Amino acid sequence: MDGAGALELARAADRVLIKVGAGIVRFDRAQHPLSEDEARAYLVHDDGFMRVPVLIRGGLLVRGYTEELYREALDAPAAPEPPASRSGI
């Protein structure tokens, strides 16, 4: 997926979990929203395409994989599907 598509996914997400090094960075639209610059830095690789693996579950976007990360994403109740269009990230 290209960078524009990755940013669209980020705009639609209510929660974003991102594997960074050995840790997990968490964004929540209500408490700690993901900025456009952060979305670009975490989701779009230098070649202009989205970094993978990516999991989307309702309004949750997960980038990266560890057992802990997927357990957190899959054990939590699924967030409702976001509306078709959202403004801002």
pTM of the model: 0.80
Q: Which domain holds residue 61?
A: 3-75
Q: Are 15 and 67 in contact (CB under 8 A)?
A: no
DSSP per residue, 21-71: TTEEEEEETTTBPPPHHHHHHHHB-TTSBB-S-EEEETTEEEES--HHHHH
pLDDT digits 0-9 by tens, 29-44: 999 999 999 999 999 9
pLDDT score for 51: 75
82 in a domain, yes or no? Answer: no
- The tally of domains found in the chain comes to 1
Does residue 31 form part of some domain?
A: yes
Q: Is residue 85 part of a domain?
A: no
Asked if residue 81 belongs to a domain, the reply is: no
Residue 53 lies in a domain: yes
Does the residue 8 lie in any domain? yes
Question: Does 37 fall in a domain?
Answer: yes
Tens digits of per-residue pLDDT, 10-22?
999 999 999 999 8
